[in-house]
Structure 1
Amino acid sequence: MKLPIYCPSCEHALNVSQLQCEVCATAVSGNYELPFYLKLSREEQDFIMDFFLASGSIKEMSKQAGISYPTMRNKMDDMIEKIKKMTS
């Protein structure tokens, strides 16, 4: 099951309020913001993982995806801008 990141009622970002150990059932409660990576769509998370697994090679990513290098570069630039906005 995918972790929900937006409120189904008002569509604002959700925070984590509790974490629980599967072994001993200890629970930690609070109001914690999700890491930016988890705020990305599944497709965006996959893109970052693909980049990592391609050893940071946009050329290799474009080859594996069957798209041109400039198209992959544009996707990368869009992702960079989105992450900059999320972390500033």
Structure 2
Amino acid sequence: MNREVIGKCPVCGKEMEVTRLSCNYCNTTIEGSFTLCKFCRLGDEQKKFAEIFIKNRGNIKEIEKELGISYPTVRNKLEDVIQALGYSPKVTTVNIDKKAILEKLKNGEISPEEAVKLLKGEE
């Protein structure tokens, strides 16, 4: 049974380090100090979101549909992954598309409470 390497220490939350690598085919073993890739630093939920984001080629509408979440939630999850990969968040101003929000409300895609938050520019 193969288990995935964990990227963060379950005790203190700091980055883990790999010290031994083995080949199951030829039994070669290498010992040393190895860093993990950036994606190993992501938590399970972040990895799942990144996979869905890539599978849907970044199409927010498709991601919303597949995960059953709203646009602001998709954006928040994306920002969370970006930060976990070590990039600083971009400060952006949100352009509110009031017609699109009202259309989503009309079609039952979002709740009235969600519409109010979106119109106020809240995430």
TM-score when scaled to structure 1? 0.79
Change (3 A) 1:53 1:14: same
Distance 2:39 2:49 in 1: 11
| Residue from 59, 62, 73 that aligns with 1:60 | 62
| Residue from 14, 24, 39 that aligns with 2:41 | 39
Change (3 A) 1:34 1:21: same
| Residue from 15, 22, 31 that aligns with 1:13 | 15
Change (3 A) 1:29 1:12: same
Distance 2:79 2:32 in 1: 35
Change (3 A) 1:15 1:24: same
Distance 1:31 1:20 in 2: 14
Q: Partner of 2:26: helix, strand, or coil?
A: coil
Distance 1:23 1:29 in 2: 17
Residue identity matched to 1:28: I
Count of aligned pairs: 85
Q: Provide the identity percentage.
A: 35
Question: Structure 2 stretches of 5 or more lacking a match?
Answer: 89-123
Change (3 A) 1:79 1:11: closer
Change (3 A) 1:64 1:27: same
When Rg is computed on C-alpha atoms for both structures, the one with the higher figure is 2
Question: Structure 1 stretches of 5 or more lacking a match?
Answer: none
TM-score when scaled to structure 2? 0.59
Q: CA deviation at 1:9?
A: 5.5
